Every structure is written in C-alpha cells, then in structure tokens.
Structure 1
Amino acid sequence: MEAAEDTRGWSVLVAVMLFAVLSHTSAARDREAPRLTSGSSHQHHRLKRGWIWKQLFVPEEDPTPRVIGQLKSDYDRGESAIQYILSGEGAGDAFAIDEYSGEIRTLKKLDREEKAFYVLQAQAINRRSKEPEEPQSEFIIKVQDINDNAPRFQNEPYVSSIPEMCPTGTMVVQVSATDADDPMFGNNAKLIYSILQGEPYFSVEPKTGIIMTSWPNMDREAKEKYLVVVQVKDMLGLSGGFSSSTTVTVSLSDVNDNGPMFQHHLYTFAIPEDATVGTTVGRVTAEDADVGANARMNYSLVDDLEESATFTIQTDPATQAGVVVLAKPLDYESKRRYVMAAEVVNEQVDTVFLPLDEFTDRTTLKIVVQDVNEPPVFLSPSYEWMVTENAAVGSAVGVVSARDTDTADDPIRYSIDKSSDTAKTFRMDPLNGTITIAKTLDRETATWHNLTVIAKEAKHHRLSSTVVASIKVLDVNDNAPRLAGLYQPYICEGTQAGELIQLLSAVDPDEPPEGHHFYFSMVPDMHINPNFTIRDNQDNTAGIVARRSTFTRKDRSRYLLPVVVSDGGSPSLSSTATLTISVCSCQPGGHCPSSGVEALALSMGVSLQTFVGLLVCSVLVTGFRLWG
C-alpha cells in the first residue's frame, strides 16, 4: 500500500511539473508570429499543445526490457510524421525511445543504490522539415527501490567492559547498522534489533541498538566474559526481509567483593637451630578470587609476643604469598617448638560489597626447631687476667670454662693453640681449663700475652670452638734506674762557685703505677767533695754544681765524680755512674772546643797509664757501694 501511494505521489508531482513546463511553452508559441502550414497561403494561430506521459518510474533490478512510458505530441496524428528523440543521462544505454511511437523502454536492469534517478530530454521534430514540433522538454525517470540489500553493522568488532555486580539496566554498548535501500520507500530500510545469544543476561533496545544488562549481580569470579550475538532485520522484522548479526564481547571488570582465605588451617615448618637470622622458614598462601589491586594482601603474626618476635612474615609482591622469616637466633635446648597465628588482610577494603571482617582470615603456624650438633660454648666470649712479672713458675693465671649445649653433653678437653707465639710461656690443664705459668715472665719483654684456647668435645663428633685469653703482665720494681745518657761534662776556667756545670736525668725500664721518682746524690760515706756537689731538683733531674772557683788546667785537667741514681720503688733500687769532668779553656759564650781539653792533658804531662788507673779506682769504689 505504501509503495502504491508513493507511486501515485510521484506521478502527481511529475504531472504538475510537466503541466507547468508545457503551459509555459504553449504561451511562448502563442506569442510567436503565425506561420503557414505546408501547402497553405493563409496565416493561422498555433493551438496550445502539450506532451502526453504515461509512466515515469522503473523498478530496479528488473532484467527484462520493458516500456516504462510514452511521449506523445498532440500534433501526432499517427501518420509517422513526427520523430521522437531522447537525450540525457542513460539515453541509448539504459533507455531508448521509439522514434515513431514515443514509447520509452529500458535496455538493462538498473540499480537504485548505484543511481537513483536519471535526468533526460525529449524532442518531437517534423520528419520532413526537421523543425521542432514541440520544444525540448526535460523530465526525470526515477528508479524505484526494492528490498535488495541486507543491513550491515558498523564499527565492528564490538568490545565492552562493565563492572561486575552492576545493577540491572546498566548500558553496555550501542550497536549500529545501516541499510543501502531507500529509507523513504516503504519499510526496506527500517531496521529492528534483537538478541540471538546472551539472554537472560543482556537485552537490546529494538530501535536504538543499545545493549543493557538484564541480570542482577553478575559475578566475574563465576564468569568473566560473555559473547552477545545481536541480529538486525530490515522491513521492521517482517518476513521476507534481510538480516545480519554481530557479536559483542562483554567483559566483567573486577570489584573487591572477595576476601583472602588461607589454603590450610595449619602450616607446619621445620628449621635447624643453627639457622642464621633472615633465613626463610616457609611460605603460607592465601587465595583471593579478585584480581589486580583488589587481590593484594598483607600478612602479620599475632598472639604471643615471644613467638611473633622470633619470626616475622612478609608479603611476596610477585606471588602475594606470606614469607615467614627468622628474626632471632634459635636454641633447640631452650625452646623446641613455636606456635602462633598468622593473619592476612586485603590491602584495599570496600565495605560496599562485604563487611569488614570478611576481608581478613587467620591460620595457625607451627614451627619445629631441629637439633644440630653444636661445638662447645665458652661461658665468656673472651677472658682477660693480670699477673705480676715476678710470679713463680707454676702459678695459676686463670680458668676458662665451656659447656656442651647438646643433649649428649660431651666432656670437654682444653688446650692452647700451638701456633700462638707465647704458647710455651703458659700451660693448660686439659680437664679443668686452668692456665698456669710455664716460664718466667718479664714485663719489659712482653706486656701482653694473647692465647687462643681450644675447647673440644671428648666424644662423638669432637667439635671444637676457640676463645681468646689475654694476660697482662704487671710491673714490679726489678730494674735499677740509670743516667739517661753518656754525659761528658766540662768546667770552664774561671767558673765561680755555685755555677751549674751539667744537668742530669735518668731512665728506668720499669713502669710504676704512680710514675717515676728519681733521686740523685753523691756516693755516701765518703768525705765531702771539695770541688763539686749534686743538687737534686726534685723533678727527676739534678745538676752538678761547682763548690769553688779558680779551676785551671794547670792545676788539674780532669775530675772524677761518682753519681748515685735511685728510684722510689719498694724496695728501692739504685745505680752509680762516675762522670769525668774536664777543665777547659772556654771560648766566649762558654763553648769548650775538644782541642782545649786535649792540649791541656798533653801540657800537664798526664800519662795514659795514670788516667786509666784513676778510672779503675772509680769503678771499684762504685762496685763497693752497690754491694754494700
């Protein structure tokens, strides 16, 4: 019915257009000067003429040539005096005109989607005079649509994602199809959408192609991807129409609607007691049905403080497993088993889908400490003793002690590492660990002795360990002080009584706790020296002072002066040194050249034998004093 109405509408429209054209043409002709018809000498007016049209439409895809219309002039009396000519679009190719009858026919089938209408021109001329009987007229042949195209989806493929648990009616995506047929002619291009696959989870709005959810609370963990097949039909879905289909891939994106859960209620691990801090004890695993950030989790140890302080648990970022790590040293003999609770919780919590407590789970950890045969353990990490250097050989210095921490409790044997430089100076009792002196000690030779002591199991695995024992040798006053240098004092001629001749100091290998206190004096029990005296400065120095004036080389060239140096130890020790004081003819400033002394000795005629005799006497006197 609609096609018939459209055809009538086009016929009326074309008739109106032709009527207007013909009316204009007739009026123009009436205004022209009158002309004589062939064989007549009388003038007459041309009558108003018009074109006669039967049909101006052609159905597409019709392969049979057929007459679709006729052009006819009102001058045409059927005598073949008028010739009809067709020109314009498709003339001679798609359309032809019978030059005698004016009938227009098709030459081939036409495709409306390729060309919807043709604009042509028609002429009617007198065959004899070749003059136009009618003015050239333009008209249109419209190709009528038939439903010869199926609808086609645009923008394929269709892929969409929606969050799981979304409410019913959530828009997924809009599919769109087009039809090449004429949308203005009938229902050929009027489309309607429907679901072929995907119900009851999805539906489609028939006219717009909008796909929506129709099932509440779709769960990604149950099904992550859906394939929805949508069909589109033309002719408003009536029979005889064309259809096409497309597939829409719908993925459910994750929301945090699941909490982590441990795979087991109890995890048991074993670790040797000698494991180092930082050793991985084991792994616990919690599963979360969510993915990505919604599945990230953190682990912790709860309950007993001692248990959780001995171990820690960390999250492996790659696997999301809980890694149990040793945080403190273990001792099988002290504690053999640890029991604690491990907790896991989602890193991100969304209480829209689950209550807070369902984002947390717990399990029990049982960690068994394995016994390891360990070497003996010294009761002290190091030992340090002090002993005086005059301690007798065989005296006890100290005692080391070790124990076997294993359950077997092996006896321990002690020894001193022979590679030690001082191993022969001390002796070790192998049974009780007592260290005694084996050789006389001398603090001035070695102040410290460092021994490496070995403790070894007497049975079983004979494991051993070592410890350092340091022995400090304390000083005793066993060295006499002595003058600090080889003094060569001299006295200048003209020196006055009371003048300082030489400043003396002393040294002592000993190290008294309160420092050195040296005392300087003349040899006792001898008559007073008339020439010199020793003045103790009370600061560990002393000065040789002249007791008279008028020392000359002529009188005497050298003087022997015994000097006694004693310390403040208990008992006090002393030594005597005899100094030779030379008389010198000094230069200005008090300098005595060596030639001044030698020349004096030669001029005085003192023989070498005499000088040696005096020196021997001095040494003998000193020796008597020391032994007395």
Structure 2
Amino acid sequence: MLTCCRLLLWQVFLKLSFHVVTASMCRGGKDILASVRENSPTGQFIANISVSGDPRANAVRLCLSGVNADWFYLDGRTIRLNTSLSRVLDREVQGSVLVAELTCYEDDVMQSQFRILVKIGNENDNRPNFLQGTIRPFTINELTAVDSVIFTVRAVDADGDMIRYIIDKSSPDARFFRIDLPNSGNVVLDKPLDYETRSHLQLVIWAQESNTVDEFNTSALVTVNVEDGDDQYPHFLPCTPVAPGVPVCISPAYSANITHKHEDVILDFSPGPISAEDGDRGINTSLMFSIVSGDDRGRFVINNLTGELRLTRAVDDRKLTPDFALRVMVCQVDDRLKCSVASVTVRVLYENTFPPVFNRTTFKGFIIQSSSPVSIVCTYGNQVLQVQASDHDFADGLNPNIHYSLRPPSGLYQVTQRGIVIARTERLLASDRHVLQVVARDEESGEEVSASVDIEVLQRGQAVPRGVFHEQQMFGDVDSRLAGGIAVMILLMFLSALLILLLRTMKSQRSPTDPEGHIALEQPDETV
C-alpha cells in the first residue's frame, strides 16, 4: 500500500515538473504595436513574435484571433499582412487601426495571450469629391448686390487632405464670379447680373488638394439661374431697341386715318395696335393705359386694360382740325412711377371714293446710250416720259399724297414723285430692253395701282421714234422685206400646184385610148 502511494506521488511530481519546463517556452512574449501602410501587398512584414519556444515544435502552438485577425497570418515567429487582389487594405474602409490577439498554447493548454495593435498608415489615394447638395442649380435675383456671397461649395477628401477651390476661367460665365478665400468655397458675385441679356449662367469649379505633392483634383459644373427683378420700365410695341443688345426701346409713333363720317369707332393704327408689355419679361406685371393729353374733351377715349382707342364723335370741320395729336401713357399697376409715353397722330382725310388709276397699263420709253451719268427717259417724239396716276377724288385728278416707287427696286432706274423715270446711262448698253413696274400708292388711303414701263436703249445718234407707226417703220424694214419674200414664195408654190392639177386633169381625160392612140373597139360575143 505504501509503495502504491509513493508511485502515485512520483507521477504527479514528474507531470508538474514537465509543465513548469514547457511553460517557459511561451514566456518572453509581449503585446505587439506595429504599423503598415494602406494598399501594402500580401506578405508585408508586420512584427516578430518574441516567445522563447519554437512554434514549429510540436509542444508549442500560436494562434491569431480577434476582430481583424483575418488580415494577418503567421510565418514562423513573424506576423505578416494577409491581402489579395480582391481584398486591399484601405484605411478609409477599415479604419486607422487593426486589432487582434496572439495566443500561445503548450500541449493544447493556453499559457499566454498578447494584444496586437497595427496602425494603418495613410496614403494619398483618393481624389476630392464635391458634396452634391452644394453643387445643385442655384437661383439668384438679378438685383443681387455685387460682392455678395451667393452660394458655397464643399468638397471632401477621404485622405483628409486640405482642399482649395478654383473657378475655371475658361468657363463661359466665369467673369461674373470669384472665390473670396481659396479654402472657403464661398462663391462671390463679381459683376452685376441682367436677366434680360443672360438668364442662365454656368461655371466650372475645381476642388484641388493643397497640401500634397500629387494635388489630386476634381471639377463640377454649377448652373446659376438668374431670376428677373423689377428693374425695367414697360414699353410700347413694336419695340425698336436704342442699340443692338440693349433692352431699352424707342416708343413707336402710332398713326391712324379717319374722315368726317367716322364716329364711335375703334381706330386702326399703324404700325400696329396700341399695346405694351412689361420690360421685365420674367415678371410680366399688369399694365394700365391712359391718355395724357390731346383727348379733345372726350372725343378720344382709351381702354385702360387693352389700349384700344375709340373715336366717340365725328369731326365737325376738317379744315379746322386736319389732325389730332395725343400722348398715351402706359404704367405698371403696382408701381405708377414706372411708365412710358408714346405719341399718337389721328389724321382727318377727305372721303376716298375713287382709287388712283393709270391711263394705260404699259408706258413706252426710250433712252439714248450716253457716257453721261444719268438721263431722263423719254417717250415718243422725244418727250419726257411721265408715269403719273390720276385720282378722281380731286378736281384736277392730281392727288398730292400719291407716292411713286419701283417694285422691285432697280439699280439702273429710279422714279421721282412726279412720275419721271431717271436712268443711269453709263451702265446701259445699246439694244438693251428693260421692263419696270411703277407702283403708285395713296399714302392716306393705302390704295395702290401699278403699270409697266417698257424701255429700249437706242444707239448713239439714233433718233427717238415720233410715234408707234414710225417705230414700226424704223424697226420693221427687215421684217417687211422678209415678209415680201415669203409672200412671193407662197404665190409661186400656189401657181406650181395649180399647173400640176391642170396636167393631171388633162391626163385623166385621155385614159380610154390605147398606146398607139387608137380607140379600142368592143369584141362581139361569140357564144352560140
């Protein structure tokens, strides 16, 4: 019995002695603090393990565990980085530190455990990115003061680099803006805006790293919509700009014609009806019309909303009041100080019963070739050609309001207001012939009539025909001789045909005779 107890005590002693000796193989270790740069390749050295035992021995075993243990692997007494082509160490994704534990086992019994802290070093591998909310389209009023901050852009860099902002000067509308401080992102209005000339602006803004060698950058296109402000006056239509590209109009001069019979009618004006629009097209404020002067004690009234001008009573005596001069004003309903004024003329005309007429549809004219700059076109008998229309509304048939013109305009001819045609002689060639259309327009009634002018250019020294027959004689000698020759030929052909017909008739009368000229006798019938 004593022997068995001693044997048991001896076995326990041996086992305790063995563990003491082997436990010393996991001693000497400590917590590991290391660093590695992001994007490092697989196998990158992290740290050496300082345990006294050899992990390759059967009795000692080292194990990695913890949240980021899969980023490491053991190579003997060395810890190395575990990455692949599809799994890259990215500081912006994993964070700035990897944490794991190293456990040392001896005969599958844990003897010690150490912490592993690996700091991930940053690399400049990211470009700045604009925050989308700061580069959306912006709307600003055209009356915004210069030097005002109109919007602010922001960009972030995942590497934490400092960013400066630059406006691309090649942008079409870069001249309207500037950045006040490079790192602020504040965009300041540098020039006044005008909705009427530019209602949409665009500029390119760059965000660039300012504290790196690479200076990575990115750009964004920002749209600025200009909102119309109430800074323009209303103007009458049609609008004639004072200068190209200037949104300021010259008020038209409206005119209308009436007679002493017109009464209680809406007048029809030229160059168009009395109308206006707000100069701020984006606002289009309601307008109001009024007569400032010249309404002749209510003879003329205007519709405050439409601008229609009405004649309320007839004109008593045209000689006393041949025309009326009015001044019409249009102003904004919400701001009476913003207004424009236009002149209106109403002419009182005689009653127009007959339209102007020409006494012929075609006039004949001649011009002799000459080296002089200009010459007056003549007609038969070397008389001055006068293309003149008559109007039976006038006792003498002459309407002083008729205006003559060529349609289409000619570079060789022009017509005076007395109907005389003038030619640029030095540019004409002998035997040329030109047909012009002369238009006579009654400026009061607007009625028109036209006639043609047939002009022939004569050679130097050639006389102007005295009349139509003389002209035919001058220009028809050759034609007459030719016509006579043709008549003789026709007569000869007629006589030849008559002779042939006579010969055929005579031949047909001799057809019963034989070839020798004897008369053929009828043979008797021999039938029995």
TM-score (norm 2): 0.51
Q: Which residue is equivalent to 2:281?
A: 291
8 A contact 2:24–2:52 mirrored in 1:
no
- Aligned partners of 2:203 and 2:223 also within 8 Å: yes
Please state how far the C-alpha of 1:122 moved relative to its aligned partner.
Answer: 0.7
Are 1:150 and 2:137 counterparts?
no
Q: Does 1:241 align with 2:221?
A: no
Q: CA distance change for structure 1 residues 123 and 158 in 2, over 3 Å: closer, same or farther?
A: same
* Cα offsets for 1:81-102 (capped at 9, x unmatched): 633211233435x32112x314
User: Who is 2:247 aligned against?
Assistant: none
Q: How does 1:212-223 map to 2 (within 5 A)?
A: 212-215=188-191, 217-223=192-198
- 1:103-502 equivalences in 2 (<5 Å): 103-108=79-84, 109-116=88-95, 117-126=97-106, 129-134=107-112, 136-156=113-133, 157-181=135-159, 183=160, 187=161, 190-196=162-168, 197=171, 198-204=173-179, 205-215=181-191, 217-234=192-209, 236=210, 238-262=212-236, 263-271=250-258, 277-282=264-269, 283-286=273-276, 289-293=279-283, 296-306=286-296, 309-314=298-303, 322-329=307-314, 337-349=323-335, 359-369=339-349, 371=351
- 2:220 and 2:335 map into 1 onto residues whose CA distance is 39
Q: Secondary structure at the match of 2:298?
A: helix
1:54-96 CA-to-partner distances (Å, cap 9, x unmatched) read 652222222343122222224569978633211233435x321
Change (3 A) 1:268 1:237: farther
8 Å CA contact retained: 1:270, 1:370: no
Instruction: Check 1:305–1:74 CA distance in 2 against 1; reply closer, same or farther (3 A cut).
Output: same
Q: Which residue of 1 aligns with 2:38?
A: 60
Does the 8 A contact of 1:72 with 1:102 survive in 2?
no
> Could you tell me how far apart the structure 2 residues matched to 1:274 and 1:35 are?
141
Q: Which one scores higher on RCO, CA 8 angstroms, separation ≥ 6?
A: 2
What stretches of structure 1 of length at least 5 have no aligned partner? 1-33, 351-355, 374-405, 409-628
CA distance in 2 between counterparts of 1:171 and 1:192 reads 17
Q: For 2:54 and 2:17, how far apart are their aligned partners in 1?
A: 15
Q: Return the letter of the residue paired with 2:165.
A: Y
Root mean square deviation of aligned Cα: 4.0
66-75 or 52-61, which deviates more: 52-61
CA offsets 1:370-399 (integer angstroms, 9 cap, x no match): 6277xxxxxxxxxxxxxxxxxxxxxxxxxx
Say if 1:75 and 1:303 are closer, same or farther in 2 by CA, change over 3 A. same
Post-superposition Cα deviations, 1:236-287, rounded to whole Å, max 9, x if no partner, equal 2644032222222223323333333444452222346655635353313456
Q: 1:313 to 1:66 in 2, by over 3 A?
A: same
Question: What pairs up with 1:518-529 in 2 under 5 angstroms?
Answer: none
Correspondence 1:595-606 to 2 at 5 A: none
Q: How many Å separate the matches in 2 of 1:338 and 1:140?
A: 101
Q: Distance in 2 between matches of 1:46 and 1:63?
A: 35
Asked whether the equivalents of residues 152 and 186 of structure 2 are also in contact (C-alpha less than 8 Å), the reply is yes
CA distance in 1, matches of 2:343, 2:213: 65
Counterpart of 1:340 in structure 2: which amino acid? L
> Residue 314 of structure 1 aligns to which amino acid in structure 2?
N
Indicate the SS of the match to 2:280.
coil
Find the aligned partners of 2:149 and 2:268 in 1 and give their Cα distance: 51
In structure 1, give the amino acid aligned to 2:49: L
> Using a 3 Å threshold, how does the CA distance of structure 1 residues 78 and 332 change in structure 2: closer, same or farther?
same
Which residue of 71, 74, 77 corresponds with 1:101? 77
Kept in 2: contact 1:255–1:294 (CA 8 A): no
Larger Rg: 1
What amino acid is aligned across from residue 146 of structure 1 in structure 2?
A: E
1:70 aligned partner: 48
- TM superposition shift of 1:368: 3.9
Number of residue pairs aligned between Structure 1 and Structure 2: 318
Percent identical pairs in the alignment equals: 23
| Residue pair 1:272, 1:369 contacting (<8 A) in 2 also | yes
Cα offset, 1:121, TM superposition: 1.7
| Alpha-carbon separation, structure 2, partners of 1:348 and 1:45 | 98
Distance 1:261 1:327 in 2: 27
Q: From the superposition, tell whether residues 330 and 95 of structure 1 become closer, same or farther in structure 2 (CA, over 3 Å).
A: farther
SS in 2 for 1:73: coil
How far did residue 299 of structure 1 move?
2.4
Give the secondary structure class of the aligned counterpart of 2:183: coil
Counterparts of 1:269 and 1:101, CA distance in 2? 109
C-alpha change, 1:340 and 1:87, in structure 2 (3 Å) is same
Shift of 1:130: 2.9
Contact 2:128–2:207 (Cα < 8 Å) also in 1: yes
> Which residues of structure 2 form unaligned runs of 5+?
1-13, 237-249, 354-392, 396-528
Q: In structure 2, the residue corresponding to 1:38 is in which secondary structure? A: helix
Q: Residues 278, 58 of structure 1: CA spacing in aligned structure 2 closer, same or farther, 3 A cutoff? A: farther
